[in-house]
Amino acid sequence: MKERQFHILMLLMVVSGLLGGCRESERPEATLSQKSAEGAPATGMGVEPRVDYMKELVVLPEGTDGMQVYFILADQYGQQVKASGHVVFKIIHEGSVLYYKECHISQHDFVDTEVGLGDFERPASLYAFPRISYDQLAYIPKDMFGIAQIEVRVIFTERNGKTVKGSGTHFLQQ
């Protein structure tokens, strides 16, 4: 049963990334100006919850040739929040950028789901990027054992200008 829930979560993350607003930006400055030109969508209080920090940035292996990345935002009290804003997503190896994507996401692109397994299972409101296969990287780094450590960095900027950052590591094994 838990394995099935895990597979459903992974499917939801992939679908949310495909249906969500994240796509490559050819002109980052246009994306930023679009961000400031749009008004904040109304919530029950008329204002989106304020993001204080990135609670989690998770990088998971996805198959033998890819990875899945998602993040969770939180307010000053540690409560998970959904927010609209601009996202910069990078994969870096030894100072070189292997993958770069910018996008604008809406609070509606976040998915309410469960993460973790067994006693560690908990509710989460997360934004999942589409699966990244290793052949999408500028090159596939390797060390002498066929394993390379990469860093994943995400910068989220709310419409009000508040910026939060997260980073995580992942091992590419070829």
The pLDDT tens digits of the residues spanning 32-90 come to 333 333 333 334 455 666 899 999 999 999 998 999 999 999 999 999 999 999 999 99
Rounded distance between C-alpha atoms, residue 40 and residue 99, angstroms: 29
Q: Residue 36 has what pLDDT?
A: 33
Domains held by the chain: number: 1
Residue 124 is encoded by which pair of tokens? 């989460």
CATH number for the domain spanning 119: value is 2.60.40.1930
pLDDT, averaged across the chain: 80
The residues that bridge with 105 in the sheet, in sequence order, are 85
Q: Residue 21 has what pLDDT?
A: 53
pLDDT tops 50 at residue 1: no
Q: How confident is the model at residue 101 (pLDDT cuts 50, 70, 90)?
A: very high
Q: Are 147 and 127 in contact (CB under 8 A)?
A: no
Q: Residue 147 has what pLDDT?
A: 84
* DSSP letters spanning 24-48: --S-HHHHHHHHHHSPPPP-TTSSP
pLDDT tops 80 at residue 100: yes
- 21-35, 61-75, 144-158: least confidently modelled range: 21-35
* DSSP letters spanning 59-111: EEE-SSSEEEEEEEEE-TTS-EE---EEEEEEEEETTEEEEEEEEEE-GGG-E
Range(s) of the domain holding residue 13: 2-173
Rounded distance between C-alpha atoms, residue 3 and residue 32, angstroms: 40
Q: How confident is the model at residue 14 (pLDDT cuts 50, 70, 90)?
A: very low
State mean pLDDT over 81-100.
Answer: 96
Residue 29 is encoded by which pair of tokens? 């400055």
pLDDT tops 50 at residue 157: yes
Residue type, 169: T
- Burial, 78: exposed, middle or buried (Cβ in 10 Å; 0-12, 13-18, 19+)? exposed
* DSSP letters spanning 102-165: EEEE-GGG-EEEEES-GGG-EEEEEEEPPPEEGGGSSS----TTSEEEEEEEEEEEETTS-EEE
Q: Residue 145 has what pLDDT?
A: 78
